[in-house]
């Protein structure tokens, strides 16, 4: 097994990357003075992988929206009970999530790590689906979908994504709909599992009070060598412009909720380069962070409240800037944001401001090493995006203010913007 160690002297941190013969990359960050340990077994498979073709297949298979998330739910079950019942015997706290571009199974614990880790490796590698259990899950997930349908944050985001994207599957709800999940069958789940739960497409992360030796020995015992299975996801056309610039809906909310997005140039089938991502995040923070005059003007004008935030929304095959929160006048706010961005393009963000933001990022980066979970999640990002855990520390020192300003000038294009609003029911629009 090839093992590479990475160190950062200033932070006094290190981790290793082991390349297991099965094809699985294993990231381990030992923090022996922590009580807790955290492990993630994940696959680079999410809701965007909705049409795929395995090597040698002529046609793409289109699968129902929500199947990656459905598979995540079902994988906890085996012929003799569910994984939660097994974790109940170790005391670990287990969970899983499906996002646009990954599915992760995880647990945290402060004792019996080896037993919990064995459970994780075992159940993720042993799917067990029957028509009966699939049918039962349709009911439970249907209720989960209903819960999200009532969540204004969720609805306002997906309405925005449908404005920004025409064909990119990021516009499709991660859990699907009651209708789409009704088409999911056991054979389809097996097909998705076999395609995407191949060790070459997966990764393993362990952080906190763990011993690398113990983790690697467990992998040796449990991981099955599997030949790689090249998979191609169906390409789609996506123009740089938004499909439409506005969507609205009414829900029981106290004040209008909004999401204002700027679609960024399509990063292709992969992830945006790390340098560009950090540059965009620095730019956003300098442009609209709570220290900016713009943020405080908008606060004083009554257009935002502390729920407001700007974020880089990106993943495999998609990237946007999204400003979201609550506003009594989302349309006026969107106009103000765009005008301010154009003005900032002219004037540029000041060096001094960027320097302060750089400091903040460094401080937050340091404090991220205080928790096994945050280290584990950061390593999960590394595994998916193919970057190193310490890359950000270097990038923060080397990205220049000129780069940040160039980035600002590139992204704010009127055709690439859209606004999504949730209005209070019966309220004045």
Partner 1 sequence: MDHTTKQTLLAPETTGLSIQTDRFKTSLITISFVLPLDLDGTAAASLLARLLEHTTALYNTPVALQRKLLSLYGARFFTAVNKAADLQLLSATISVINDRYALHGEPLLAEAAAFLCDALFAPNLTDGDFSPEEVALCRRLLVESIEGLLNDKRRYAIARMYGAMCPEEPFGIPIGGTVEAVEKLTGQDAVACWRQMLQNAPAIVSVVGGADPQPVYDAVLARFSQFGRTPKPLSPRFVYRAPAGVKEVSETMALTQGKLVLGFRSTVSSLEQNNLAMHVFCDMFGGSPYSRLFTVVREQRSLCYYCAARLQSTKGFVCVDCGIENRNIEPAKEEILAQLAALQRGEFDESLLSASLLSLTDSARSVADSQLSLLAWYISRLFDAAQPSPEEWMAELRGVTAEAVVEAANALTLDTVFALKANEEQPAEKEGSPA
Which CA distances in Å does 85 have to 34, 89, 118, 119, 136?
A: 26, 7, 14, 10, 18
Report, in Å, the least distance between residue 115 CB and partner 1. 11
What's the chain's length in residues? Answer: 429
Cα 141 from chain centre: 20
Is 169 or 330 the residue whose CB approaches partner 1 more closely?
330
Report residue 302: phi and psi, to 5°.
Answer: 80, 15
Which of 289/348 has CB closer to partner 1?
289
What's the CA gap between 197 and 185, in Å, rounded? 17
Q: Is 72 a catalytic residue?
A: yes
140 vs 217, which CB is nearer to partner 1? Answer: 140
Smallest gap, in angstroms, from Cβ of residue 261 to partner 1? 12
| Residue 367: burial class (beta carbons within 10 Å; 0-12, 13-18, 19+) | exposed
Q: How far is residue 191's CA from residue 194's CA, in Å, rounded to a whole number?
A: 5
In the three-class reduction of DSSP (H, G, I as helix; E, B as strand; rest coil), residue 6 is classed as strand
Taking the least distance from each CB to partner 1, the nearer of 89 and 126 is 89
Helix, strand, or coil (residue 82): strand
User: Is the Cβ of residue 200 or residue 360 nearer to partner 1 in the bound state?
Assistant: 360
Nearest to partner 1 of 48, 421 (CB atom): 421
Least distance between partner 1 and beta carbon 49 (Å): 25
d(CA 7, CA 12): 7
Quote the tokens at residue 392: 């950000």
Instruction: Answer yes or no: are the C-beta atoms of 380 and 96 closer than 8 Å.
Output: no
Q: Closest distance between partner 1 and the C-beta of residue 96, in Å?
A: 11
Shortest Cβ 5–partner 1 spacing (Å): 21
d(C-alpha 184, C-alpha 134), whole Å: 8
Min. distance of Cβ 311 from partner 1 in angstroms?
16
Strand 25-30 relative to strand 202-208, pairing: parallel
| Location of structure tokens 């880790």 | 117
Other CB atoms within 10 A of residue 234 CB: 15
CB 144 within 8 A of CB 122: no
- 16: tokens are 């290793």
The residues annotated with a catalytic role in the active site are 72
């Amino acid at each position: 097994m090839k093992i590479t160690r990475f160190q950062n002297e200033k932070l006094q941190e290190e981790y290793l990357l082991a390349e297991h013969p099965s094809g699985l990359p294993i990231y381990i960050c030992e923090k022996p003075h922590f009580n807790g340990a955290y492990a993630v077994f994940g696959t680079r498979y999410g809701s965007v992988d909705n049409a795929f073709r395995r090597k040698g297949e002529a046609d793409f298979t289109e699968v129902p929206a929500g199947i990656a998330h459905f598979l995540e739910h079902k994988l906890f079950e085996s012929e003799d009970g569910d994984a939660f019942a097994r974790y109940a015997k170790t005391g670990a706290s287990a969970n899983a999530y499906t996002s646009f571009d990954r599915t992760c199974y995880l647990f945290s614990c402060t004792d019996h790590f080896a037993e919990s880790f064995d459970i994780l490796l075992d159940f993720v590698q042993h799917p067990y689906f029957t028509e009966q259990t699939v049918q039962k899950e349709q009911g439970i997930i249907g209720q989960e979908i209903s819960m999200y349908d009532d969540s204004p944050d969720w609805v306002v985001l997906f309405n925005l994504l449908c404005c920004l994207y025409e064909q990119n599957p990021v516009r499709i709800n991660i859990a699907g709909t009651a209708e789409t999940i009704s088409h999911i069958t056991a054979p389809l789940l097996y097909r998705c599992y076999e395609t995407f739960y191949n060790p070459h497409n997966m990764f393993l992360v362990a952080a906190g009070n763990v011993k690398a030796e113990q983790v690697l020995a467990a992998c040796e015992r449990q991981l099955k060598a599997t030949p790689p299975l090249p998979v191609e996801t169906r390409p789609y056309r996506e123009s740089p412009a938004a499909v439409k610039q506005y969507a609205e809906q009414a829900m029981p909310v106290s004040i209008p909720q909004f999401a204002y997005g700027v679609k960024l140039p399509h990063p292709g089938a992969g992830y945006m380069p790390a340098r560009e991502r950090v540059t965009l995040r620095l730019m956003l923070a300098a442009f609209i962070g709570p220290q900016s005059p713009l943020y405080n003007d908008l606060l004083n004008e009554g257009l935002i409240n502390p729920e407001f935030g700007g974020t880089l929304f990106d993943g495999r095959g998609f990237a946007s800037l999204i400003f979201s929160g609550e506003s009594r006048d989302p349309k006026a706010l969107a106009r103000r944001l765009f005008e301010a961005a154009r003005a900032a393009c002219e004037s540029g963000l000041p060096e001094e401001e960027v320097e302060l933001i750089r400091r903040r990022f460094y401080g937050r980066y340091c404090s991220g090493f205080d928790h096994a979970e945050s280290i584990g999640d950061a390593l999960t990002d590394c595994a998916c995006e193919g970057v190193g855990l310490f890359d950000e520390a270097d990038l923060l020192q080397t990205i220049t203010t000129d780069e940040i300003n160039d980035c600002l000038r590139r992204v704010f294009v009127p055709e690439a913007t859209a606004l999504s609003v949730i209005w209070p029911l019966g309220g004045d629009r």
